[in-house]
Amino acid sequence: MDFLFDALKRGLLAGTILAAAAVAPEAATPGPLAPDPLADEAIIEAATVTGSYLAGRHAQQVDDWPAAADFMGRALASDPDNLALLRRTYLLQLGDARYDDAAALARRLVAVEPGNHLAETLLLADDIIAGRLDEARARYAGGADEGLSRYVEPIVLAWIAVARDDIADAWTALEPLANAQGFAVLHHFHAGLIADHAGDAVTAEEWYRKAVTAGAPLRIVQAVGGFFERTGKADEARALYQRFRDDNPGTLLLQPELDRLARGEKPIAIVEAPRQGIAEALFDIASALQQEGAGELALMYGRVAVHLRDDHGLAHMMLGDILAQRSRFQPALDEYAAAGRDGALAWTARLRSAGMLEKLGRADEAVTLLDAMAAEQPDRIDALVELGDVHRGAERHGQAIAAYDAALARIGPPQPRHWLIHYTRALSLDHLKRWDEAERDLQRALELAPEQPLVLNYLGYSWIDRGINLERGKAMIQRAVELRPTDGYIIDSLGWALYRMEDYPGAVTHLERAVELKPLDPTINDHLGDAYWRVGREVEARFQWRRALLHAEADDLAATIRAKLETGLPRHQTAAGLPTVK
């Protein structure tokens, strides 16, 4: 949500949650083993604890949270008084949606560390679910004065006051948020929700109108539009929904609301109970965190939100996106399935599910799903574009091109946002050695999006690789680097283009930077090795080739690298190929 961006950028989130919650590895690792040769059992036990801890750390680093939670749990069982280990294990259990286990750890955590915000938040949710309102309010009784807790707690306490039928106390609890820089819209939104829930339509409308600013996120639009529908302002609701759709071309979001308006039906409020209001607050915070790149912290708040309200489709969608970004494809697929229970999100959830199926090696299931979706909505292109992407990922480039062709046939005059279809079709055409057609698609994509770095990079490099339009191609790649100065793949393209143009010192400069950004990429390391060889740094060249060989999965790349390690780089030989595309 945009209304949190300013506050987040001011440093309220200094690092991710696991970095903030954990201490240095030395503090979390079990202590040194006693030098007693007779204490075999103690040594074995300590080694087991250390092994579990290290395995858990590794699993966490590669985003395998289920395994990390298991290993850390074993380490904690053997070292139960280790506070840092307790914190870390709690967060891993919560992130993996093991609510009962996480709650048990949270109770242990607050006993030794009162005021631990995330632990208290999960326990508060359990209190709310059980109807323990006084206990829930006491969780935040200390008053928060740092971090996100100072913004989360006023909203939650306000909703607890609503649950206790004390609206005056709710306004008092919410008030600190009204003047908090970057959080005013969050205050206005929940003030509207609270007044709406209390039946005060006049006050609700006042706050809702303040919240529904230009560019308001979907959830606020849904809430305010639904309020307008229920209070006889159907035209205002329709205008609000249409404005959102105009700002998001091609979306199916809010189509159910527009259909409902056409039928003359009245919706229910998006928050019908205080428990749902608390879930809404936690989702709002989590959504903003996710958009700011704090995915781990967003995952924690999102987990508690759906624990309170499992029918919150947008929260499940957000969790699916976070998990997908971390390559946890099956859990992401499960979250998208949950999101799809909300009819307004069903189409989007099915599209994203298809992507997860492809990632799980179930491309045929993804194709079946997308074929059906494309037939259901003959005027839409998104299912066909995703179908092309699935085929392309499976190296079925002919079928990918057919899907992209079908998508382009549906759009009529292309809009700037359609650059991506031409670009992805060009990738498949190029793989099939149909360069003339691929070049036309890339040029068309560039016409639609002149500053698109992916297109600038691919077309510029392809020209240089073919020995044509050399200066223009180099300028295009340089512009792509300016637009994405930390993209290791694009910087690799610039370095390799300079290599192909025999500017070896310039190539080294850019390829070294690319390797810094993508140290494990075999192609980039191979390129740097070639550049080192050309400038006479043969020992360093062999080092880079060996490093590339360690990570080379493609047989042809591995064979090329082995040959160079054996005989060096013959004169004028290069590792020619397509620009790196990720």
pLDDT digit string, tens, across residues 245-291:
988 888 888 989 999 999 999 999 999 999 999 999 999 999 989 98
One domain, residues 82 and 200: yes
Encoding tokens for residue 237?
Answer: 């609701």
Q: Which residue has the higher pLDDT, 423 or 150?
A: 423
**390 and 487 assigned to the same domain:** no
Q: Provide mean pLDDT across the span 359-374.
A: 96
Last residue within a domain, chosen from 211, 229, 249: 211
**201-241: pLDDT as tens digits:** 999 999 999 999 867 889 999 999 999 999 999 999 999 99
For residue 404, what are the contacts with CB-CB under 8 A and spacing of at least 6?
Answer: 384, 385, 388, 421, 424, 425, 428
pLDDT, average across residues 130-154: 85
The more confidently predicted of residues 31 and 157 is 157
Q: What is the pLDDT of residue 22?
A: 33
Q: Is residue 321 part of a domain?
A: no
Residues 476, 442, single domain; the answer is no
Q: Which amino acid does the sequence have at 345?
A: L
Residue 28's pLDDT band (boundaries 50, 70, 90)?
very low
What does residue 116 show for φ and ψ, rounded to 5 degrees? -60, 110
Same domain, 80 and 186: yes
- Specify the 3-state DSSP secondary structure of 455: helix
Judged against a pLDDT cut of 90, whether residue 3 lies above it is answered with no
Cβ-contact 546, 535 below 8 angstroms: no
Residue at 426 is within a domain: yes
In this structure, are 501 and 566 located in the same domain? yes
In this structure, which amino acid lies at residue 198?
A
Q: Hey, which bits of 473-570 come out as E strands?
A: none
CA–CA separation, 340 and 578 (whole Å):
39
Instruction: Tell me, yes or no, whether 15 and 154 share the same domain.
Output: yes
Q: Of 417, 450, 483, which residue constitutes the final position of a domain?
A: 450
Residue 63 is predicted with a pLDDT of 64
* In contact, 456 and 476? CB cutoff 8 Å: yes
CA distance 531 to 465: 16
pLDDT at 21: 34
CB count within 10 Å of CB 577 equals 15
Look at the chain and report how many structural domains it folds into: 3
Dump pLDDT digits (tens) for 451-474. Answer: 999 999 999 999 998 999 999 999
Residue type, 462: S
pLDDT (average), residues 112-134: 94
Q: What's the pLDDT tens digit per position in 409-453?
A: 999 889 999 999 999 999 999 999 999 999 999 999 999 999 999
Mean pLDDT, the chain, integer: 87
Q: Decide if pLDDT at 13 tops 60.
A: no
Residue 353 in this model has a pLDDT that exceeds 70? yes
Q: Is the pTM of this model over 0.95?
A: no
Residues 22 and 157 in one domain: yes
Q: Where are any strands of DSSP class E within 416-547?
A: none
Same domain, 66 and 164: yes
pLDDT band at 183 (very low <50, low <70, confident <90, very high): confident
- 3-state DSSP helix/strand/coil percent for the chain, to nearest 5? 75, 0, 25
pLDDT of residue 492: 95
Same-domain status, 371 and 401? yes
The pLDDT, as a whole number, for residue 27 is 32
In this prediction, residue 62 has a pLDDT band, given cuts at 50, 70 and 90, of low
pLDDT score, position 4? 40
At 541, the amino acid letter reads A
CATH number of domain containing 438 = 1.25.40.10
Beta strands in 413-474 (DSSP E): none
Per-residue pLDDT at 197 exceeds 90: yes
Q: Is residue 295 part of a domain?
A: no
Q: Which of 195, 211, 227 is the last residue of a domain?
A: 211
Same domain, 446 and 478: no
Q: Quick check: is 336 in a domain?
A: no
Mean pLDDT along residues 303-307 = 98
- Tens of pLDDT, residue by residue over 475-514, are 999 999 999 999 999 999 999 999 999 999 999 999 999 9
- Structure confidence at residue 12 (pLDDT): 35
Does 46 lie in the same domain as 184? yes
DSSP class of residue 412 equals S
d(CA 240, CA 224): 9
pLDDT confidence bin for 39, thresholds 50/70/90: very low
Answer with the residue of higher pLDDT: 431 or 150. Answer: 431
Q: What is the pLDDT of residue 23?
A: 28
pLDDT band at 553 (very low <50, low <70, confident <90, very high): confident
Domain residues for the domain of 35 are: 2-211
Q: For 146-155, 309-318, 330-339, which range has the lowest pLDDT when averaged over its residues?
A: 146-155
Q: What is the pLDDT of residues 85-120, one digit of tens each?
A: 898 899 999 999 999 999 999 999 999 998 899 999
At 16 the pLDDT is: 33
Within-domain flag for 248: no
The model's confidence at residue 6, banded by pLDDT at 50, 70 and 90, is: very low
Residue 554 pLDDT grade (very low, low, confident, very high; cuts 50, 70, 90)? confident
- With 0-12 CB in 10 A as exposed, 13-18 as middle and 19+ as buried, what is 228? buried
Q: What is the pLDDT of residue 161?
A: 97
Q: Which residue has the higher pLDDT, 41 or 369?
A: 369
Which residues lie closer than 8 Å to 178 by C-beta, 6 or more apart?
184, 187
Residue 462 in any domain: the answer is: no
Residue 207 belongs to some domain of the structure: yes
Distance CA 245, CA 47 (A): 59
Alpha carbons 267 and 359: distance in angstroms, whole number: 37
Q: Do the domain assignments include residue 288?
A: no
pLDDT band at 313 (very low <50, low <70, confident <90, very high): very high
Same domain assignment for residues 43 and 157: yes
Query: What separation, in Å, do the N-terminal and C-terminal C-alpha atoms of the chain show?
Result: 28
Predicted local distance difference test score (pLDDT) of residue 106 = 96
